[in-house]
Amino acid sequence: MRSSRWNDHLRACNKNRIRKHERCVLDNEEIIDTLRKSKITSNEISKRISETEKAESEIQATRKNYLPIATRGALLYFVVASLTQINHMYQFSLDWFRQVFLSSVVSKSKEQEEHGLKREKVPPKKVHELVVSAALFNQHKLCFAFLLCTAIMKNNASESPPEDGIGSLPEEEWNIFLYSSILINTKGVMPHPRLDRLYEMDRSRHLRWVSHARWKQCRYLSRQLEAFSSLCRSLLFNVSQWSAFQASTALYLLLGTPFSAERDSPDESEKSPEETELLNEHEELHRPVNFPWEKLTPFQRLILIKILRPERLKNSVRKFLTEKIGSEYIHRTGINLKESYKDSNARTPMILIHSQGVDVINTLLKFAQELKGTTQHVTMISLGQGRAAKAEDLIADALAKAGQWVFLQNCHLAASFMPRLCTIVDSLSNPNVTVDPKFRLWLSSESDSSLPVPLLQKSLKIAVEMPMGLKSNLLKTLGHDGSGEVTEEIFEKPTCGPWWKKLLFSLCFFNALINERRKYGMLGWNIGYEFNPSDFEVAVKMLENTLTAQPAVPWQKLHFLLGEVVYGGQVTDPWDQRCLNTLLYRFCNPDVLTCDFSFFSEEAQSFMDNLVALQPRMGQPSLVISREPSSDDLVMEMVTNMQKRLPMTVEKEERRGAQSTLRSIMAGSVWEALNKGLEGYDPLIHCVLLSFLKQEIERFDKLLLVIHESLKDLQLAIKGKIVLTPELEEIYNSFLKARVPALWQKHAYKSCKPLASWVNNLIQRLNFFNTWAKMAYTAIYHRYMRFTLAWKHSSTSPKLEKNFFEGFPARYWLPAFFFPQAFLTAVLQDYGRAHGISTDALTFTHQVIPSTIGSKEEEFSIMVQKTLNLVRRAFKSTDPSHIGAHIFGLFIEGARWNPEEKILEDSLPREICCDFPEIYFLPTKVSPETPAAANPPESEGHTFECPVYQTPQRSSTSITTGSPSSLTSVFLPTRRPPSHWITMQVALLCEKNEK
């Protein structure tokens, strides 16, 4: 560019000289000489311009070769950086990433040059290995690999065609995968009455497994993506295809092959009259549709699985990753300290991130012994109060010697020492400080936010976990890896009698089982207990002491020591304690000593099959990590939708100053006159349930105020009119992750529902209380008018007819209350007041109310009941006795109710949680002979005491909140022994798990 401008300048100068020269130009030698030199200079400039253009094209070509590598590096870095949102310990600096990525690029380039290959995009394997194989917990490794793959695929969507063969991922499909449950409520689903009516009819038959939320997502999916346009019609009419889909355990592979079974539709004899009439009106709906799922892209298969079979999503993601980026990204469990040690150096600390109960000391000492043949070079100290100075001295002493290791344990317990430790680590990086190459600084910590980010970024992180699976746990305990708790010497003890080996193995199996149950969430334990290796060591010692020099096995003593002291000492939930003792009896009873005993009896095998059929819920990471660029519009749409749907208060004040609501009439002169004027006990005016209702309304009004204020502030913050505070940012992120914001949870009832379902459920609760409040207000007002009329015509205090059923529901929706246990207490108090009995002397007996539907109407009526408004169900008809309470709206998890035989039975396949019928809670005076038995056992079969919980999380929040572990318990008849249901953790819930 500069040469071109100089060339133009020469031409302009020459023109000026020629113009100024008055005589013949050829007579002026100076001008001729100048023109000759200009020509030479111009030729040189032209040559330089061509050379520059050639060099520039070569630079652009070289840059184009490296641009994909740089783009891939940026993608990988932002995925790695986003891991901190999963766990605070996953901190990785840009300097660290740059070193790892450059080493990966250099090694790959050398390999390609040696083999004469064309330079390709650098795969993320090096970064994946160094990060995932060591630093992440097993539950997060799959999430990271999936994010890695989808980030590459989303970037490939802008290329045509993608160069790496992984494929592309449109933004629309990614958003549907993440936010399908949100999008159906914000953007809405176009109504299709015919399909919806057919779905409701089939809901009681072959589509029992497709919930209303899943059906709405299928409708949305069929409208948004062309590949799913026939999904809904196929679900309704192709029974065999979707039965195969429901029964498959390898869904991802199934969706990759065409469905070859004959097309069929529901049998004519199975159709209800309404369905037959609908199909006759619309003949096109009668034709069955074979859904071409083999034409779906691999990611579209995941979308379908996520919506209809979410319990199979993790397994399908593994297949997806294997197909896209290779099986090496699905890492095995376990740690490899040897490989991590090779990647470390003396100036970089190594931090062992562990969960509670993991013995990292034994892990490190075993590695030190294996590496150097001794542990003399390892100096350890457990950090805590007053240990900081000692730890600092140990590091200084080790640096002054050769080949020393320092191990600082439990860094999460020494938050005040962490800044000083960070300074010490910084000093090790100083090139002026001499550090022995064989020196290592080892740290251990649980996941804790008190650890400084700079320390974590500079450390080489290694995640240490308990072994996963019964087999791995048993092998570790029995010393398969050389460091088990049960050595050959312990197993061969001759002083413990002939039954020692069998009981010791039973104890090993029991220890592995109670640890493995944790990964099944609430179906394992209500609270996730961490049983330490030290618990097992103490249990073995107690077993040895109990059996030594004994002529027989003291079973009762063993049950108490193991079930109540060693393991039971950690169990805080009474229902978990019951489960623990039941399991212990299976592994510690006289049958274990028989020669033909097997741990896998038919009952135990059935129990294990049910557990394996469940997808573990405890360790499921959220795949939503970063928000999309268009998230502001999505959140604004959600905010506007909620503001329209949610009322400002439970009761609407019709006129200012008038007592037109239940709260106002109970706080005014009408209520005061009735309380003072009526003699004796009045079942309406003196009812505890009315006071309870008023308190519930106040709680919901407070919650609605918090919700509307936060929604208004969030709207203003998104528009930029006010500052986006951390509290508003948390609400913003919660909306994108379909979670209820923490601010709302603080003022709300207990619930584990995702955001969309939570809002729908809140509206139903508000309608229930609004209707009850209106009925109560009307009853009180009528009672006051009758009281006033009677008072005018009587000189004494008026006596009114006492109709208790006025102003109260016929059935109570127990899950609607903030505190269901307070409602049950209020029912007992009302009964006690009416009959002059102390509440402490009362308990409930329970009766499951059978359905009154005839056999011919049963199919269609079940569908109607499912969609019947909860308010109509609660207030439909009246109960003239109104003794006790009829409860509905509960679900049973881990079992099902057989309405024909009126007993508890095992769940149907893939139906872990299902609706439970109405229950009649009848207050009964506790008998002094049998004070603990609310329901006597029936003559045939058994009675199981089933706990009732408010959420699917059961007792997991009872420790922090201080609330009781369960709301109450219900006695249910069963043919199986209660121990079967106890080990299955069967419980009644106020809401289903919709996650």
Smallest Cα–Cα separation from 887: which of 929, 852, 847, 834?
Answer: 847
Amino acid 282 reads H
Residue 695 to residue 666: CA distance in whole angstroms? 12
Residue 405 to residue 378: CA distance in whole angstroms? 5
How many residues are given for the chain?
995
How far does the chain reach from its first CA to its final CA, in angstroms? 63
Angle in degrees, 0-180, between the axes of helices 2-20 and 29-81, rounded to the nearest 10: 160
Q: List C-alpha distances in Å: 789 to 683, 775, 799.
A: 20, 21, 11
Task: Indicate the CATH number for domain 470-614.
Answer: 1.10.8.720
Beta bridge partners of 593: none
Which residues contact residue 338 at a Cβ distance below 8 angstroms, ignoring those fewer than 6 apart?
367, 370, 371
Q: List C-alpha distances in Å: 558 to 26, 244, 448, 501, 573.
A: 125, 49, 38, 15, 21
Amino acid 701: pLDDT = 93
Residue 430 to residue 422: CA distance in whole angstroms? 13
Place of tokens 């040897």: 338
Residue 70 to residue 517: CA distance in whole angstroms? 45
The DSSP annotation for 77-146 comes to HHHHHGGGGT-TT----HHHHHHHHHHHHHHHHHHHHHTTPPP-PPPTHHHHHHHHHHHS-HHHHHHHHH
Chain segment 383-436, per-residue pLDDT in tens: 988 888 899 999 999 998 888 999 999 998 888 999 999 999 999 888 888 888
Structure tokens at 602: 């038919």
Structure tokens at 618: 């405890």
Q: Is 424 exposed, middle or buried (0-12, 13-18, 19+ CB in 10 A)?
A: middle
Which residues contact residue 607 at a Cβ distance below 8 angstroms, ignoring those fewer than 6 apart?
983, 984
Chain segment 128-147, per-residue pLDDT in tens: 555 556 788 877 888 888 88
Element (H, E) at 865: helix 858-867
DSSP SS3 for 943? strand
Amino acid 808: pLDDT = 83
Smallest Cα–Cα separation from 144: which of 157, 162, 158, 132?
Answer: 132
Residue 139 to residue 144: CA distance in whole angstroms? 10
Residue 258: count of CB within 10 angstroms of its CB: 9
Contact (Cβ atoms closer than 8 angstroms) between residue 349 and residue 459: yes
DSSP SS3 for 178? helix
Within its chain, how far is the Cα of 768 from the centroid?
29
Structure tokens at 420: 């000083």
Phi-psi region of 191 (alpha: psi -120 to 50; beta: other; left: phi over 0): beta
Within its chain, how far is the Cα of 474 from the centroid?
28
Question: CATH for 809-994, among 3.90.10.10, 1.10.3470.10, 3.10.490.20, 3.40.50.1360?
Answer: 3.10.490.20
Angle in degrees, 0-180, between the axes of helices 193-202 and 858-867, rounded to the nearest 10: 120
Place of tokens 């001008």: 31
Which residues contact residue 788 at a Cβ distance below 8 angstroms, ignoring those fewer than 6 apart?
none
The answer as to CATH 3.40.50.300 being correct for domain 337-464 is yes
Structure tokens at 641: 């939708």
Q: What is the 3-state secondary structure (H, E, C) of 353-419?
A: EECCCCCHHHHHHHHHHHHHCCCCCEEEEECCCCCHHHHHHHHHHHHCCCCCEEEEECHHHCHHHHH
Amino acid 276: pLDDT = 53
Strand segments (E) across 128-279: none
Sheet with strand 405-409: strands edge to edge: 378-382, 405-409, 440-445, 350-354, 460-464
Question: CATH for 46-109+120-158, among 3.30.70.980, 1.10.8.1220, 3.40.50.150, 3.40.50.920?
Answer: 1.10.8.1220
Amino acid 131: pLDDT = 56
Which residues contact residue 572 at a Cβ distance below 8 angstroms, ignoring those fewer than 6 apart?
527, 959
Angle in degrees, 0-180, between the axes of helices 125-135 and 138-156, rounded to the nearest 10: 160
Residue 599: φ, ψ to 5°: -65, -25
Residue 77: count of CB within 10 angstroms of its CB: 16
Residue 127 to residue 430: CA distance in whole angstroms? 26
Element (H, E) at 331: none
Element (H, E) at 916: none
Structure tokens at 214: 């899943």
Contact (Cβ atoms closer than 8 angstroms) between residue 576 and residue 526: yes
Q: What is the 3-state secondary structure (H, E, C) of 886-912?
A: EEECCEEECCEEECCCCEEECCCCCCC
Q: List C-alpha distances in Å: 222 to 183, 228, 284.
A: 13, 5, 18
Amino acid 759 reads V
**Overall pTM > 0.75:** no
Q: List C-alpha distances in Å: 312 to 139, 222, 270, 309, 603.
A: 15, 21, 30, 6, 25
Residue 574 to residue 568: CA distance in whole angstroms? 10
Place of tokens 């290959």: 117
Residue 31 to residue 23: CA distance in whole angstroms? 12
Place of tokens 């355990």: 249
Amino acid 543: pLDDT = 85
Place of tokens 């003196």: 686
Residue 806 to residue 267: CA distance in whole angstroms? 48
Amino acid 405: pLDDT = 93
Phi-psi region of 839 (alpha: psi -120 to 50; beta: other; left: phi over 0): alpha
Stretches in the chain below the pLDDT threshold 70 = 1-32, 35, 104-133, 159-164, 186-191, 261-288, 331-335, 357, 467, 479-484, 596-630, 654-659, 668-684, 784, 786-806, 851-869, 877-882, 928-940, 956-964, 995
Q: List C-alpha distances in Å: 608 to 114, 502, 861.
A: 53, 22, 36
Torsion of CA 381, 384, 386, 391, to 10 degrees: 30
